[in-house]
Amino acid sequence: MSAVIAVRGLRKEYKVHHKEGGFLGSVKSLVNRRYSTVTAVDGVSFEIAEGEIVGFLGPNGAGKTTTLKMLAGLLHPSGGDVSVLGFEPKQRHTDFLRAITLVMGQKQQLAWDLAAIDSFLLNRVIYDIPEDVYHRRIGELSEMLSLQQVLNKPVRKLSLGERMKCELALALLHQPKILFLDEPTIGLDVNMQRAVRDFIAAYNDRYRATIMLTSHYMDDVEALARRVMVIDGGRIAFDGDLHRLIAEQAPKKVLRLKLIEAQPAARLSQYAELRRLEDLEAELLVDRQRVAETASRLLAELPVADIAIEEQPIEDVIGALFKTAPDRKTVPSHQPVTT
Amino acid sequence: MRTARILHVARIWRQLLVQYCAVAMAYRVQSLIWMIGGLMPIATMLIWVELAGNGSIGGNGTSYGRQDFAVYFMAMYLLRQATVMWSVLILDRGIRRGELAPQLLRPVPPVWAHMAEHLGEIVVRLPIILAVFVLGLYLTGTLGSLTFPNVLLFALALVGSWLIFFHLHYCVGLLAFWMDGVLSLEPLIWYFTVILGGGAIPIDLFPTAIRDVLTWLPFAATLDFPAQILLGKIDAALLALGFAKQIGWIVALTLLRQALWRTGLRRYSAMGA
């Protein structure tokens, strides 16, 4: 399948002004300004096929948002090549802008002092959407995101969740082929997060849109992305199937126990690394190859009411990957999987 | 194809104006406060009228009587009110705090929205400004001195003034791509405009050598020149030269704006972008 996004050796460097704190620092800065160059994205390469949903993960300051902004044409790269639908994003060609969208959790397209529908009307004209198509899309988006009661309210009166859903709907009104979603569920409650996730999945399914998603909520990534890219220190630390990431980066599984009688921590630690112990519930981290044997021993030797074998939470896996990422040679990078 | 494109652009502009008129309506109290703050030319007029008494100020064919001062400064009031600009603030926020990003994602130049934002404000405040303008002329007994061709030409020059001011402020605002304290330059434009453009003293009343320099600056082209038209003090040759200067400044500042935008966008890399 051909790639709709192709990135080769992408780099972005920022010049950062350093200033010491306090009044003296301000005076020194006035006389002698010191700058340093920060490499936010350091030679990133990947390809994404049409219709893929890719989770883009990394700690704060890893280079995720900078990469998305370069792909959306907001930032000019310091080096490397980027092609999105055959366009060079920094040229901001009209046809390119009509085919993409970038949703950023904190930045808004909605006019703050007007009803949300006014911003939809403006985008209808800007993207030259015929009247009947516009009404059909508004209907679809309202239905998928439950916006019927929201669109005619002033934006400043909307809750954060309502506003985020409106932002998302507005960003998709022109039916873009490529979606860059930067923390689309940030600040939302659990129900609203789920609604937005379901909507993104449905949009991908219905329009075969290609989606790159960053999120600090692993539920978003697990629910939507088969493929993940992990970026740290501006470099890709992992690129591949989410489940393979867990299998390769998590050599242990979690044995979750419900006990009939409480057991001391020292006793449980004889079997494996004790991850958690609360009254009658315990979690042990066990090497994958010793899971079956350890489970049998626990059942035979301890008063166990119930036992479950689970993968390590993805947060832990990714967290462990961030810790090992500085030693790049030890972290495998994989060919992208296509759906 | 070309006609379709023109019609599309016209529809975008209509919608932008509708939207920003609605925004201006939402901020009507702010508009009113701005209008009260814009009464300075009227205060200046009262001072000059008092100074002129029953005689005139100036010489060499450029003397101003009380009626001249009344028309000149009522024109100043209208010009200042119709050319209020806040694009430095918009661009400072947009560039340094990243508020420009959503506009950059749309397939229309962000400057269109910024222009429409200013025009929407004018549409909302225009009825009040015009009422104050006409009332001021009436109360000073100068309403009858205006001629229809002069009013028409004044309106045309006002459009030129607006375009020069907009681009001047926009160019200064775009410096936010390179510097942090761009807002501090805004009062500077205001001082230049008032002092060098004829906002406090008609350019004719400056010493000849200074006056000859000032008339070539954009400030005089935006304030003094349209006011002179309304006064009926300039002949056809000076009128043509005045409009030529306005066009020259509009072209020069538009080219500068485009160059600053193109160069600046490459630097648009603030962490908040």
The residue extents of the domains of chain A are 3-246, 253-311
Which chain A residues are within 8 Å of B102, Cβ to Cβ?
104, 107-109
Residues A290-303 have a mean pLDDT of 90
Per-residue pLDDT band for A338 (boundaries 50, 70, 90) equals very low
Per-residue pLDDT band for B91 (boundaries 50, 70, 90) equals very high
Fold match between A3-246 and A253-311?
A: no
Q: How far apart are CA B178 and CA B175, in angstroms?
A: 5
Q: Which residue of A has its CA nearest to B101?
A: A74
Q: How far apart are CA A98 and CA A335, in angstroms?
A: 30
Residue of B156 and A215 predicted with greater confidence:
B156
Q: How far apart are CA A118 and CA A115, in angstroms?
A: 6
pLDDT at A60 over 70: yes
pLDDT for the residue A107: 61
For chain B, say whether A327 makes contact (Cβ under 8 Å).
Answer: no
B144-179 core/surface letters (b: 16 or more CB in 10 A; e: else): ebbeeebeebbeebbebbbbbbbbbbbbbbbbbbee
- Is residue B71 within 8 Å of residue B41, measured between CB atoms? no
Residues B33-42 have a mean pLDDT of 75
| Domain covering A3-246, topology | Rossmann fold (3.40.50)
Which chain B residues are within 8 Å of A104, Cβ to Cβ?
101-102
Contacts of A83 (CB under 8 A, 6+ apart): A5, A6, A7
Q: How confident is the prediction for chain B on average, in pLDDT? A: 89
Q: How far apart are CA A170 and CA A134, in angstroms?
A: 11
pLDDT at B11 over 90: yes
Task: State whether residue B181 is helix, strand or coil.
Answer: coil
Restricting to B residues 98-127, those with a Cβ less than 8 Å away from any Cβ of A are 98-99, 101-102, 104-108
Phi, psi torsion values for B157, nearest 5 degrees: -65, -30
Residues A171-190 have a mean pLDDT of 88
User: In percent, how much of chain A has pLDDT > 90?
Assistant: 42
Contact B23 A114 (CB under 8 A): yes
pLDDT for the residue A323: 65
Evaluate whether the domain defined by A253-311 bears CATH number 3.30.70.
yes
User: In percent, how much of chain A has pLDDT > 70?
Assistant: 91
Q: Using alpha carbons, select from A184, A49, A42 the residue that is nearest to residue A105.
A: A184
Contact B8 A118 (CB under 8 A): no
pLDDT for the residue B166: 97
Residue of A106 and A311 predicted with greater confidence:
A311
Q: How far apart are CA B68 and CA B258, in angstroms?
A: 39
C-alpha pair distances (Å), A85 with each of A77, A123, A217, B17, B102: 17, 22, 28, 33, 20
pLDDT for the residue A337: 33
pLDDT at A88 over 50: yes
Q: Using alpha carbons, select from A323, A332, A339 the residue that is nearest to residue A244.
A: A332
Phi, psi torsion values for A63, nearest 5 degrees: 115, 5
Per-residue pLDDT band for A334 (boundaries 50, 70, 90) equals very low
Contact A69 B16 (CB under 8 A): no
pLDDT tens digit sequence for A144-165: 888 888 999 999 898 888 888 8
Q: Which residue of B has its CA nearest to A77?
A: B266
Residue A126 has its nearest CB partner, among B12, B101, B269, at B12
The ipTM value here is 0.84
Question: Among A93-97, A317-321, B19-23, which stretch is predicted with the lowest mean pLDDT?
Answer: A317-321
pLDDT at A113 over 90: no
Per-residue pLDDT band for A251 (boundaries 50, 70, 90) equals confident
Domain residue ranges in chain B = 2-270
pLDDT for the residue B61: 63
Tokens encoding A250 = 């998590």
Question: Among A82-91, B37-46, B72-81, B225-234, which stretch is predicted with the lowest mean pLDDT?
Answer: B37-46
Cα torsion B6, B11, B17, B23 to 10°: value is: -140
Distance from the A108 Cα atom to the nearest Cα atom in chain B, whole angstroms: 6
Residues A263-268 have a mean pLDDT of 90
pLDDT for the residue B172: 96
Q: Using alpha carbons, select from A250, A242, A224 the residue that is nearest to residue A311.
A: A250
For chain B, say whether A29 makes contact (Cβ under 8 Å).
Answer: no
pLDDT for the residue A211: 96
Contacts of A286 (CB under 8 A, 6+ apart): A252, A253, A254, A255, A271, A272, A273, A294
For chain B, say whether A85 makes contact (Cβ under 8 Å).
Answer: no
